[in-house]
Amino acid sequence: MTEPTTKTQPNIAFIGAGNMGGAILRGLVKQGYPASSLMATGRDLAGLELLAKETGVGTTTDNQQATAWADLVVLGVKPQVMQAVCLDLTQTVQTTKPLLLSIAAGITSDTLLSWLGGKLPLVRSMPNTPSLLGAGVAGLYATPEVSQQQRAWVEQITQAVGQAYWVEKEQQLDAVTAVSGSGPAYYFLFTEALAAAGEKLGLSPELALNLAKATAAGAGKMLLESQDEPAELRRKVTSPGGTTEQAIHTLIEKGLPELVELAAQAAASRAVELAEELKDC
């Protein structure tokens, strides 16, 4: 067994660097993390080549080789291929004992560790794609084997691309998935719908989309930077007897808050289902 490293900038292997793993990796490089301390693997050769060209990180299709080199291994593949990937890495990780960081929705630490051959330090993260722009947010859960140093690594990496919040109970990651992991897609859908509404009201498609996008971005910036709570920000747009009041009344009357709750519950339930489906496959 190798001694745990005390490096402040661990070598990180991304096993699968697609939409999400790739977003974190690119975010790290943008924030100045040394490319020589990063490696990515994947199945899509053209994608790996592009990533190497763009970021200067090492790439390989050999998961075992990348894992043996790394202090921290990000498991960034789809849940459906996670078992095969983990089983292939069992011997390597049981020899070198890196920190494992899974970003997969649903799959529990018990299941992952059973595939990886038993006790190892493992963190589950639920990040989101705005990490690409340094504007991500992630929920983190650590198994008891994770050291303070390793927690600090995970925080450092996560905070390089956004905000990081530890949760006490692993189950809470399903709620994090429902709110912020899947959340960007809800805001994108709202933006699509608002742009479509603008078109129906007589704007060109281009202008409607630009207005909807800029409004989402501006509202997002206010949510982050203002001292006001969302309800107060909303109040400040809503003139009594004015236009916003009518729109908000319609959204509430037609059930937007209940719909959002149902959507989040559906996402969280799907995370639980995924974990069950994949546990014994």
Ligand X SMILES: O=C(O)[C@@H]1CCC=N1
105 near ligand NAI, judged by CB under 6 A:
yes
Packed helices 45-55 and 19-30: angle between N→C axes, nearest 10 degrees: 10
183 near ligand NAI, judged by CB under 6 A:
no
Q: How far is the CB of 160 from ligand NAI (least distance, A)?
A: 16
Q: What is the torsion angle, in degrees rounded to the nearest 10, for the CA atoms of residue 83, residue 85, residue 86 and residue 89?
A: 160
d(CA 212, CA 121) in angstroms, rounded, equals 44
Tell me, by CB under 6 A, how many residues bind ligand NAI: 27
Q: Which does 103 bind (CB under 5 to 8 A by kind): ligand X, ligand NAI, none?
A: ligand NAI
Element (H, E) at 272: helix 256-279
The answer to whether 27 touches 131, Cβ cutoff 8 Å, is yes
User: What distance lies between CA 247 and its chain's CA centroid?
Assistant: 32
DSSP-assigned letter for residue 172: H
Binding segment for ligand NAI among 40-48, 139-147, 204-212, 239-247 (CB under 6 A)? 40-48
66 near ligand NAI, judged by CB under 6 A:
no
DSSP-assigned letter for residue 124: E
Structure-block tokens of residue 200: 């129906």
Task: Tell me whether residue 55 or residue 182 sits nearer to ligand X (CB atom).
Answer: 182
Site for ligand X in 151-190 (CB under 6 A): 177, 181-182
139 near ligand NAI, judged by CB under 6 A:
no
The answer to whether 140 touches 161, Cβ cutoff 8 Å, is no
Residue nearest to ligand X (CB): 181
42 near ligand NAI, judged by CB under 6 A:
yes
Dihedral sign computed on CA atoms, order 108, 40, 85, 89? negative
DSSP-assigned letter for residue 134: T
105 near ligand X, judged by CB under 6 A:
yes
Q: Which does 81 bind (CB under 5 to 8 A by kind): ligand NAI, ligand X, none?
A: ligand NAI
Q: Which does 16 bind (CB under 5 to 8 A by kind): ligand X, ligand NAI, none?
A: ligand NAI
Instruction: Give residues in contact with ligand NAI (CB under 6 A).
Output: 15-21, 41-44, 47, 63, 76-79, 81, 85, 103-105, 126-129, 181
